[in-house]
Amino acid sequence: MSQMSRREKALIYFCLLLSLACAMIVIGAKASEGDYIGSWTNYNVSDIHVIKGTYVSGDLTSLEFDDVDYYLVNEDIGIEGFDVRFNFTNIPNNTISLSHRILCEYEGNPAHDVNIEVFNFTNDMWVNSIHVPEHSLRWDNNSMSLNSIDFNNDGDVWLRIVHYTSGVETHYLNVDYFQLKAFIPVNTGEGGLIWWIGAIFIFVPILLILYYVLRRK
């Protein structure tokens, strides 16, 4: 093998430093709490249960698209207006954060309390209430910032929309679109696009160096 020039040596050192920097970024980001490398995956509702209120129309597919095809529930009169459960299943156990996307409309009294809540399996309680206003509201990428250990029970995540106050028969809940979003880190190999890009940047410079050295022999 002939002797390397200073320019060739500099190129090899540069490639090695690039690989090292990429490796540190990938490993460091994975280790930083709240800043994992991974991706958000959307999940459709698996089951709906109207605990209180009166079912009017719609089904699971109504909740999959923003298309004015609603899941519609009428308030019960005189008692707690409605309590509609939206269950999600097969959520990966390594999910570290949960969020949701919803487009719904509460056609009722703005003074009434309508909330989206999530079930805490550790405390056995509905928590993290988000108030739903009277008229149409689109929530997109609205992070609930949940530590999914408490809210992901072996793949099950439960959300509900609840009307605490007494119902009125002319009031309705329309849900056009509802999805759970789960942030899945890449260390299990799911949703690993960003990780793979980082990995490629780690190994490509090394492969280029090997190719260059072998070619010179």
Residues of this chain that bind Ca ion (CB under 5 A):
62, 65, 67, 69, 176
Map residue 149 onto helix, strand or coil: helix
Residue number, 37 or 102, with CB nearest to Ca ion:
102
Q: Find the shortest distance in angstroms from Cβ 189 to Ca ion.
A: 32
Contacts of 33 by beta carbon, 8 Å cutoff, 6+ apart: none
Q: Find the shortest distance in angstroms from Cβ 115 to Ca ion.
A: 21
**Residue in 172, 195, 191 with CA at minimum distance from that of residue 183:** 191
Residue number, 116 or 184, with CB nearest to Ca ion:
116
**Residue in 142, 52, 131, 148 with CA at minimum distance from that of residue 97:** 148
Q: Find the shortest distance in angstroms from Cβ 67 to Ca ion.
A: 5
Residue number, 75 or 176, with CB nearest to Ca ion:
176
**Residue in 157, 184, 190, 183 with CA at minimum distance from that of residue 44:** 157
Residue number, 72 or 202, with CB nearest to Ca ion:
72
Q: Find the shortest distance in angstroms from Cβ 173 to Ca ion.
A: 13
